[in-house]
A and B are shown apart, each in its own frame.
Chain A
Amino acid sequence: MATAAGNEPLFVERFPDEAAVAKANLLVAFVALGIGAFFGLVQALHRTDILRIIDSADYYTLLTGHGVLLAIVFTIFGLAAFFHWATARSLDQPAVSTLFSWAWFGLMTTGSLLASVAILGGLVPNLGISADVLFTFYAPLQAHPIFYIGLAMFIVGTWLSGADWFLSYRAWREDNPDERIPLQAFMVLTTMIMWYIATVGVAVSVVFFLIPWSLGLIESVNPLLTRTLFWFFGHPIVYFWLMPAYMMWYTVLPKLAGGRLFSDPLARVVFLLFLLLSTPVGIHHQYLDPGIAEGFKFIAMTNTMFLLLPSLLTAFTAVASIEHGARQRGGEGYLRWLGALPWRDPAFAGMAFAGLIFAAGGFSGMINAGMNINYLIHNSLWVPGHFHMTVGTAVALTFMAAAYWLVPQLTGTKLYSRPIGLLQVVLWFVGMVFMSNAMHRAGLAGIPRRTAEPQYQNFDFVTPIGSIFELRVQIAFGGLLLFLSVVLFLFNMLLTAFGEKSERPVDEFLPAPLSGPEGSPRVLDNLGLWTGIAVVLVILAYTLPIAGIIQNGGGLFGGGLPVPVTVFPDVELVKTVLAGALAALAGVLL
């Protein structure tokens, strides 16, 4: 993982085309961040009844825009930028075809624009275009066809971006047949394999059901089937957001702390565990769906709890690496070493804050994942409180913090202001503490999510401590701080991009891990094997539930009356699929 220190040319000098593609991806990500954050502020003020500048009917348009622009466009364009940089840097070679890189970027951008037009069209009633289907876009809510077509183009664009990085890897492998895969490239490839598997669900849902349904080619869809296919993709997308953040925590954060990654093999194991376990867990989002047998939900819960393992391994490795860095900087004692960390650096402070909030988000996620206790908070404001800690901070704040270190490498200009950067990450942390804490508490009090009018007539929510009014003020205040934080970030990035060129705007050097890959088994790098196992796990987890949903829910396209759930789906279908999966695995192994 190490690169030469000292007089090594900047990334933008070594790989100008890759830097340009990464910058273009970050530009789209940051535009989406600005618009999505503004929508978030309007929502926070509206549903807390602090300031209402839109009709409640338009709330759902902004909610969809907020979710799609931030959870899909910002995160995945950010991922594409980081992965394009990491692939070129770690393999030390440019992409195979720059034209191909621009092609997937163009496809993703066009798809995003189409989906955004469909969403924002909802604010102009005479236009006849709307997509108030929220980020989770499954039936029975229906959007204009261009929303689904845009999404399909976007997903295909991400597939091509993965192909771009795999082509780079293949070219590198031809020249380095016996080398271990460089760690960052390994992280990129395992993440993309997971994405290919996960997006099968959403691709089938959009192409075979939602697009024909929105065009009027088919009369109805099976809502439970589209929900299940969405969550087939909807949980692993969480790890698609997180894994680039993990990549930065594993490979950049230790360096920023002044040290080195604790263990390269442990990082590889973590990414493989995410590849294996991210997808066969989606049904834990459907604990209250009546058409899925309880046994399948229990299996999904068990799989989900296994996912805690790579997160806990990451917490251990990240803290160990940071502590090593602090001690290299002269830190001593059991806790006093914390004071020796470079808190002045917004890139470090932002990632450290993100990791801390992610720990809290992990704990609230365990409540979501527990099948029985989930009933307490299901569809309540607790759930947005949870994911604003995970994707809204662990991912978003890490991306912003990483940008303070990465953007100067891509532009060749110095960061405009480190103090403003530090203030920005602190504002994000404080704003998120206010907002997500109040959301969790409001969820415990039973306040629902996804509504512009969270009050029922003749019913008052009760909190054990404080009042509902306090929670509303906390949410609005937190939302305001978060928006101000985004404004500061975009301001800093804009002035950095147009700043004066510098010979050495940032120290790009990434030191080698304390424990390198040479001590770990080579089977960790056998991507074909892990892909085969991941596919088998998905087949085992989903074949019976989906067969049951089709059989009991009125067929592939719905329309019939649902019948009580059974656990006896089409046995022949199950046998055929399982035999195919085992044959595929045998082919990989032998």
Chain B
Amino acid sequence: MRFTKAQALILIAFSIPVAIELRTVAGFFNYDLPLIGVVVIEFLFLALLFVLYGLYGEKSTPAAQ
């Protein structure tokens, strides 16, 4: 199945509530995650998504898959 732009956009949208609540989850384990930590994790997720889209996105070549 091809990875479409729409799917990438939806995944980015779904990552926002996860990122916002990440500090709450860390708090359950008595870990005080700083805001900048959340920003970095979200940035890394977006970078990963970007790479995956490049590899498996709708405009990628079949050879890349």
Residue positions of A touching B, CB distance < 8 A = 339-340, 343-344, 349, 353, 422-423, 426, 429-430, 433-434, 437, 464-466, 470, 474
Q: How far is A470 from B24 in the complex, measured between Cα atoms in Å?
A: 14
Cβ 8 A contact of A433, one of B4, B6, B16, B23: B16
Chain A residues whose CB sits within 8 angstroms of the CB of B13 once the complex forms:
353, 426, 429-430
Chain B residues whose CB sits within 8 angstroms of the CB of A339 once the complex forms:
1, 7
Residues B24 and A465 in contact, CB atoms below 8 Å apart: yes
Q: Mark B22-45, 1 if CB is under 8 A from A, else 0.
A: 011001000010010000000000
Q: Is B20 an interface residue when CB atoms closer than 8 A count as contact?
A: yes
Residues B20 and A349 in contact, CB atoms below 8 Å apart: no
Residues B17 and A344 in contact, CB atoms below 8 Å apart: no
Q: Is B64 an interface residue when CB atoms closer than 8 A count as contact?
A: no
Q: Is B63 an interface residue when CB atoms closer than 8 A count as contact?
A: no
Select from chain A the residue with minimum beta-carbon distance to B19. A433
Residue positions of B touching A, CB distance < 8 A = 1, 4-7, 9-10, 12-13, 16-17, 20-21, 23-24, 27, 32, 35
B contact patch SS: helix
B53 to chain A, nearest CB (A): 14
Known: A343-B10, A422-B9, A465-B27. A434 touches B4 (CB 8 A): no
A contact patch SS: helix
Select from chain A the residue with minimum beta-carbon distance to B34. A466
B11 to chain A, nearest CB (A): 9
Cβ 8 A contact of A464, one of B1, B5, B21, B27: B27
A353 to chain B, nearest CB (A): 7
Ranked 4 nearest A-B pairs via Cβ = A344-B6, A343-B6, A433-B17, A426-B13
Chain B residues whose CB sits within 8 angstroms of the CB of A465 once the complex forms:
23-24, 27, 32
B32 to chain A, nearest CB (A): 8
Residues A343 and B17 in contact, CB atoms below 8 Å apart: no
B46 to chain A, nearest CB (A): 13
Q: How far is A344 from B9 in the complex, measured between Cα atoms in Å?
A: 9
Select from chain A the residue with minimum beta-carbon distance to B10. A343
Select from chain A the residue with minimum beta-carbon distance to B18. A433
Cβ 8 A contact of A340, one of B1, B6, B20: B1
Chain B residues whose CB sits within 8 angstroms of the CB of A422 once the complex forms:
6, 9
Residues A426 and B1 in contact, CB atoms below 8 Å apart: no
Q: Give 20 A-B pairs besides A340-B1, A429-B16 with Cβ atoms closer than 8 angstroms.
A: A339-B1, A339-B7, A343-B6, A343-B9, A344-B4, A344-B5, A344-B6, A349-B10, A423-B9, A426-B10, A426-B12, A430-B13, A433-B16, A433-B17, A434-B20, A465-B23, A465-B24, A466-B35, A470-B35, A474-B20
Interface Cβ pair total, 8 Å cutoff: 42
Residues B6 and A437 in contact, CB atoms below 8 Å apart: no
Chain A residues whose CB sits within 8 angstroms of the CB of B21 once the complex forms:
437
Q: How far is A158 from B27 in the complex, measured between Cα atoms in Å?
A: 49
24 A-B residue pairs with Cβ-Cβ distance under 8 Å, sorted by A, are A339-B7, A340-B1, A343-B6, A343-B10, A344-B4, A344-B5, A344-B6, A349-B10, A422-B6, A423-B9, A426-B9, A426-B10, A430-B16, A433-B16, A433-B17, A433-B20, A434-B16, A437-B17, A437-B20, A437-B21, A464-B27, A465-B27, A465-B32, A474-B20
B56 to chain A, nearest CB (A): 11
Select from chain B the residue with minimum beta-carbon distance to A357. B17
Select from chain A the residue with minimum beta-carbon distance to B33. A465
A129 to chain B, nearest CB (A): 42
B24 to chain A, nearest CB (A): 6
Chain B residues whose CB sits within 8 angstroms of the CB of A343 once the complex forms:
4, 6-7, 9-10
Chain A residues whose CB sits within 8 angstroms of the CB of B4 once the complex forms:
343-344
B33 to chain A, nearest CB (A): 8
Select from chain A the residue with minimum beta-carbon distance to B4. A344
A64 to chain B, nearest CB (A): 30
Chain A residues whose CB sits within 8 angstroms of the CB of B16 once the complex forms:
429-430, 433-434
B37 to chain A, nearest CB (A): 12
Q: How far is A339 from B13 in the complex, measured between Cα atoms in Å?
A: 15
Select from chain A the residue with minimum beta-carbon distance to B6. A344
Q: Which of A353, A426, A434 has the most chain B CB atoms closer than 10 A to its own CB?
A: A426
B23 to chain A, nearest CB (A): 5
Q: How far is A388 from B13 in the complex, measured between Cα atoms in Å?
A: 18
Q: How far is A464 from B6 in the complex, measured between Cα atoms in Å?
A: 36
Select from chain B the residue with minimum beta-carbon distance to A346. B6
B22 to chain A, nearest CB (A): 10
Select from chain B the residue with minimum beta-carbon distance to A423. B9
Chain A residues whose CB sits within 8 angstroms of the CB of B27 once the complex forms:
464-465
Chain A residues whose CB sits within 8 angstroms of the CB of B32 once the complex forms:
465
Cβ 8 A contact of B6, one of A349, A430, A466: A349
Q: How far is A468 from B35 in the complex, measured between Cα atoms in Å?
A: 13
Q: How far is A353 from B6 in the complex, measured between Cα atoms in Å?
A: 14
Q: How far is A579 from B45 in the complex, measured between Cα atoms in Å?
A: 65
Q: How far is A142 from B53 in the complex, measured between Cα atoms in Å?
A: 58
Q: How far is A340 from B1 in the complex, measured between Cα atoms in Å?
A: 8
A253 to chain B, nearest CB (A): 16
Chain B residues whose CB sits within 8 angstroms of the CB of A470 once the complex forms:
35
Chain B residues whose CB sits within 8 angstroms of the CB of A340 once the complex forms:
1
Q: How far is A565 from B51 in the complex, measured between Cα atoms in Å?
A: 67
Chain A residues whose CB sits within 8 angstroms of the CB of B6 once the complex forms:
343-344, 349, 422
Chain A residues whose CB sits within 8 angstroms of the CB of B20 once the complex forms:
433-434, 437, 474
Q: How far is A422 from B10 in the complex, measured between Cα atoms in Å?
A: 9
